[in-house]
Amino acid sequence: MPATTNPVVLCVDDDPDMLAAVVRTIRTAGYHVLGSTSPTEALGILGQQAIAVLLSDYEMPEMTGVELAARARELQPETVRMMLTARNTIDTAVAGINVGEVFRFLCKPFQPDVLQREVAAAVEHHREVADVASERLTVVRRRRVLEALEREFPGITAVPRDDDGAYLCDDEARHRAEAEPGLEAILALLNG
């Protein structure tokens, strides 16, 4: 899913009071924020709309934040995943990085300015990742168009040029162009 002009941040914490504080803090930074106390509900949201940043608690009854991050990555690989947790252990960090590809770990209790700064960094990272994904998709689409053209009109993607740069067409290509109006238009565009 491409980057949006108004990025959406999805916050997940099973503690409603903590969730409200996190949502309020991020919202004051100008982002569109969604909140959920349920990882399962959060996965449903991820399945329905583009999410720039997922900010999740680690310890939740339905699944851990790392499990949520891993499943979120499957649904939206370009979503930047962050963890906000009071469980500040090396095991938590390693699991988050290795399993959920978590971008940042933040400690509870959080400092509002630190949370806002890190979410801003995550949004920027999302834009970069989404731009790369979009460029990659464009390349794939172009390759598929060229492959389709080549199947339909063998040799069209490798038409030779003369010394002046004009495309050279043999008699067979000209004959096919006359018989197939779409090819004639393509050749006209190529020779501009």
pLDDT digits (tens, 9 = 90+) for 2-31: 444 689 999 999 999 999 999 999 999 889
Are residues 51 and 15 located together in one domain of the fold? yes
Q: Where in the sequence is the domain holding 186, given as residue range(s)?
A: 154-192
Alpha-carbon gap, residue 103 to 122, rounded angstroms = 7
Give residue 153's pLDDT band: very low, low, confident or very high (50, 70, 90). confident
Q: Is residue 123 part of a domain?
A: yes
Beta bridge partners of 80: 53
**Residue 166 included in any domain:** yes
* Mean pLDDT of the residues in the chain: 81
- CB atoms inside a 10 Å sphere around CB 121: 15
In 3D, which of 39, 107, 110 has the Cα closest to residue 69? 39
Query: What is the per-residue pLDDT for 182?
Result: 60
Q: Is 107 a member of any domain?
A: yes
pLDDT at 180 over 90: no
Residue 160: the pLDDT is: 67
Q: How would you list the strands of the sheet with 104-107, edge to edge?
A: 32-36, 8-12, 53-56, 80-85, 104-107
Mean pLDDT, range 79-96, rounded to an integer: 71
How many domains are there within the chain? 2
Q: Are residues 113 and 162 in the same domain?
A: no
Mean pLDDT, range 148-168, rounded to an integer: 74
Which region among 19-33, 35-49, 143-157, 164-178 has the lowest average model confidence (pLDDT)? 164-178
25 and 56 inside one domain:
yes
